[in-house]
């Protein structure tokens, strides 16, 4: 992600320069016209140099405290050393208050009021500098933590997505083996459908998001593949339509629900049927999969059973958070999955 313009070095330099220019111009901007007329005839060179050197000193103290003392002392909890270092910096500035006029031939004299004024001014720059650096470090720390979380999220999503393909392919290839053993004429069209699915997984599934139409085509290819396998043994009712073709979704997010329906809604089940409904409209996707199942069956599950649903639940939690609602409802001999997602 590219940094915002105000985080670029040139922008930071310009903003700092503008802030210092405004700050040091305030005495002139706030000075009344009477003072301008009174001071105009006499241009004191030593006063101009004094003002310039003191301004540069305040700037140096600001950045020295922010960039050196705070990181090396405050962050390491060396508070006494921090206080001592700032006292030395202030002492140097206090000496400047008396030394600069003396260099221009002014008589040396101790000025308590000047010391008091510069003490208050130093406290102002000290507080401003320390706050600036602490806030800067906090923002940088938060950004780094956010980047780490984003990287962890991307890695986890990548791993979860990569689990879908092997698990799905494992089941599909089992179907191919079954058709081959039966020497079924459906093997060739099934292989064509399988090639279509593999093309989607290879070239589309790596995208961050795909159009819902592509995901629907993928689901339909899988359903056709399963129908070729089961034939009339399973009644499959499919109703999928989308109003707006601009909607996009993470690839292979819906297939585990359909896969699960065919896995547990077929076999030793009387009048097996599977209903699949998908609608995307009004910035909302509603996906419902319903299948008959036998709750009393003690089906022996292989070691990979359940990867799909566990996977998709985790992906939904990571990708959509509170913007989705997943309801899994076993009711008698009917198992229903209803998923709603807010689409952007």
**Residues 297-325 pLDDT 10s:** 645 444 444 556 777 888 888 888 889 99
Is 221 found in the same domain as 327?
yes
Contact 218, 197 (CB under 8 A): yes
Q: Distance (Å, rounded) from C-alpha 300 to C-alpha 245?
A: 42
User: HSE-up of 163 (CA within 13 Å, CB side)?
Assistant: 19
Residue 178 in domain:
no
User: HSE-up of 213 (CA within 13 Å, CB side)?
Assistant: 4
Question: CA gyration radius for the chain?
Answer: 36
Q: What is the 3-state secondary structure (H, E, C) of 169-225?
A: HHHHHHHHHHHHHCCCCCHHHHHHHHHHHHHHHHHCCCCCCEEHHHHHHHHHHHHHH
Is 238 found in the same domain as 115?
no
Task: Choose one of 130, 145, 160: the last residue of a domain.
Answer: 145
Sign of the torsion angle spanned by Cα atoms 51, 57, 61, 67: positive
Is 226 found in the same domain as 128?
no
* DSSP-derived pairing of the beta strands 273-281 and 248-249: unpaired
Domain ranges, residue 291:
184-342
Is 194 found in the same domain as 94?
no
Is 140 found in the same domain as 249?
no
> Across the 344 residues of the chain, what is the mean pLDDT of every consecutive 10-residue run?
67 86 77 54 60 84 91 88 90 78 62 77 89 90 79 66 62 78 80 81 76 89 82 89 79 86 82 92 91 69 55 84 90 90 87
How many structural domains comprise the chain? Answer: 2
pLDDT of residue 266: 82
pLDDT of residue 40: 46
Residue 126 in domain:
yes
pLDDT of residue 303: 46
Task: Choose one of 123, 145, 167: the last residue of a domain.
Answer: 145
pLDDT of residue 239: 94
Q: Distance (Å, rounded) from C-alpha 226 to C-alpha 52?
A: 83
Residue 155 in domain:
no
Residue 179 in domain:
no
Predicted TM-score (pTM) of the model is: 0.57
Helix residue ranges, H only, the chain: 9-30, 33-39, 45-64, 79-103, 112-181, 187-203, 212-230, 255-264, 307-319
Is 196 found in the same domain as 55?
no
Is 327 found in the same domain as 239?
yes
Q: Report helix, strand or coil for 265.
A: coil
Q: Distance (Å, rounded) from C-alpha 276 to C-alpha 259?
A: 11
pLDDT of residue 340: 95
Task: Choose one of 97, 124, 145: the last residue of a domain.
Answer: 145
Tokens 């993470």 -> residue: 250
Residue 247 in domain:
yes
pLDDT of residue 302: 45
Tell me the CATH number at 249. Answer: 3.30.565.10
Is 229 found in the same domain as 89?
no
Residue 152 in domain:
no
pLDDT of residue 307: 58
Residue 150 in domain:
no
Residue 154 in domain:
no
pLDDT of residue 104: 62
Is 195 found in the same domain as 141?
no
* DSSP-derived pairing of the beta strands 248-249 and 210-211: antiparallel
pLDDT of residue 63: 92
Tokens 């140097």 -> residue: 92
Is 221 found in the same domain as 73?
no
Is 330 found in the same domain as 196?
yes
Q: What phi and psi, each to the nearest 5 degrees, are found at residue 319?
A: -85, -40
């Amino acid at each position: 992600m590219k940094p915002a313009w105000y985080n670029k070095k040139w922008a930071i330099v310009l903003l700092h320069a503008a802030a210092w220019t405004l700050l040091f111009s305030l005495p002139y901007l706030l000075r009344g016209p009477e003072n301008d007329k009174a001071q105009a005839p006499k241009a004191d060179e030593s006063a101009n140099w004094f003002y310039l050197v003191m301004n540069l000193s305040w700037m140096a103290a600001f950045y020295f405290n922010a960039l050196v003392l705070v990181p090396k002392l405050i962050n390491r909890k060396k508070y006494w050393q921090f206080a001592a270092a700032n006292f030395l910096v202030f002492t140097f500035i206090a000496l400047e208050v008396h030394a600069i006029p003396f260099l221009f031939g002014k008589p040396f004299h101790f000025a308590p009021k000047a010391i008091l004024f510069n003490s208050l001014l130093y406290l102002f720059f000290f507080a401003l500098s320390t706050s600036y650096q602490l806030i800067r470090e906090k923002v940088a720390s938060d950004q780094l933590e956010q980047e780490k979380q984003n990287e962890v999220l991307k890695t986890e999503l990548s791993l979860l997505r990569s689990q879908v393909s092997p698990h799905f392919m494992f089941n599909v290839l089992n179907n191919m083996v079954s058709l081959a053993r039966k020497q079924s004429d459906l093997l060739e069209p099934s292989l064509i459908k399988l090639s279509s699915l593999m093309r989607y997984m290879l070239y589309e599934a790596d995208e961050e998001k795909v159009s819902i139409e592509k995901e629907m085509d993928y689901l339909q290819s899988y359903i056709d593949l399963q129908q070729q396998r089961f034939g009339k043994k399973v009644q499959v009712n499919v109703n999928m339509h989308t109003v707006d073709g601009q909607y996009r979704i993470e690839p292979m997010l819906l297939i585990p629900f359909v896969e699960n329906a065919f896995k547990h809604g077929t076999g030793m089940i009387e009048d097996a049927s599977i209903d699949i409904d998908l609608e995307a409209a009004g910035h909302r996707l509603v996906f419902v999969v319903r299948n008959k199942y036998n709750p009393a069956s003690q089906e022996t599950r292989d070691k990979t059973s359940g990867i799909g649903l566990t996977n998709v639940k985790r992906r939904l939690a990571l990708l959509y958070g509170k913007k989705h609602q997943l309801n899994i409802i076993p009711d008698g001999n009917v198992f229903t999955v209803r998923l709603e997602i807010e689409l952007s």
